[in-house]
Amino acid sequence: MLNELGGDKRWVSLKEINRKVHEAYPSEKVKDVTIGLQLVFHSINHSSRFHSPSKQWIKKNLFKTDNSGRFMILSEDEKEMFKKAYKLGLGVVNKSFYSMEELKAALENKEEILEANLEEAEEEFKPLPEYETEFTLEEQLESYIVSNWNSVDFGYNLELYGRQYSTSVGIIDLLCIDKDSNDFVVIELKKGKESDKVLGQVQRYMGWVKKNLAKESQNVRGIIITGEYDERLSLAASTNTNIKIKYYGIKFWLEDEPSG
C-alpha cells in the first residue's frame, strides 16, 4: 500500500496508509492500530521499534520515519547503511530516533566492518517467515520483563540503561545499572542458544562494557535468564562469580469464575 502511495519517493502519513488499506481490503476490517504497529516494528528508526517481539526492524527492515507520523520505504542503499551500522555497533542505531543523514555521517567515520562480529550479526539479519504471526514464549520474554520491570526480582536493584544495546561485538539484550552499587549489569536471555555460546556472549559483552562504558570505579556483572536447568551452563558459569543464572517460570490456570 505504501508503494502504491508513492512511498518510495515521498513521506506518506499514517492516515493516508490506513485509508488505502481499508479501501483495498474493505471486508477484512483491519484495525488501524495493527497497521500502525507493522509500520513501527519494521522501521529502522522509530522510537518504539525496540518493543518489537521478534526484532522485525532488524530481521526485516522495510521503512523509515521522519518522527512526525510519516513513513517512507527504505532504499536498498539505506538498508545496507543500516546493516553496516548495526554490525559495527555504532551508537546511532541505539538512539530513540535518528535520521538517514545521521546514519550516513556515523558510517563515514568507519572504514570497515569488524570481521569478528560478522557471523553473529548475520544471525540477526536472517529473514522472518513471510507471514509470521506467532511468537515463541522466550521471544516475548524480553518484552514482558521490560513491561513489568519493577515486579521482576533480579537479585539487584536494577535500572534499565538500554534495550537491544548495539556494540561492536554484538547486541546486548538488556544493559542495566545497579542503583545500589552503580555497577553495570549485562542481561542475556538464553532463548535456545547453546550453553557455551550464551556464556561466551555475556563475557564478551561484559568485557566491551568494561572497556567502553564503565568508569574505573564501576564493576560489570552478568545475568543469564533461562527457562530450564542446564548443567553445562551452570558448571561453566560457576567459575565466574560475576555471572549469575536466573530461571523464569510461568503459571497458568483455568477456573469457572474469577477468584475474589
- Domain positions in the chain are 12-124, 137-247
pLDDT digits (tens, 9 = 90+) for 124-143: 555 544 434 333 555 578 88
CATH number, span 137-247: 3.40.1350.10
Q: Which residues contact 22 (CB under 8 A, 6 or more apart)?
A: 30
pLDDT in tens, 146-195: 888 988 889 889 999 988 888 888 889 899 999 999 999 999 988 766 77
pLDDT for 91 equals: 78
The whole-angstrom separation of Cα 2 and Cα 17 is 6
CA-CA distances (angstroms) from residue 178 to 8, 31, 88, 203, 220?
44, 41, 27, 18, 10
> pTM for the whole thing?
0.54
Residue 122 confidence class, pLDDT cut points 50, 70, 90? low
Could you give the count of Cα atoms lying within 13 Å of 146 in the half-sphere of its Cβ?
Answer: 21
CA atoms within 13 A on the CB side of 30: 16
Q: Pick from 226, 216, 152: which is nearest to 195 by CA?
A: 226
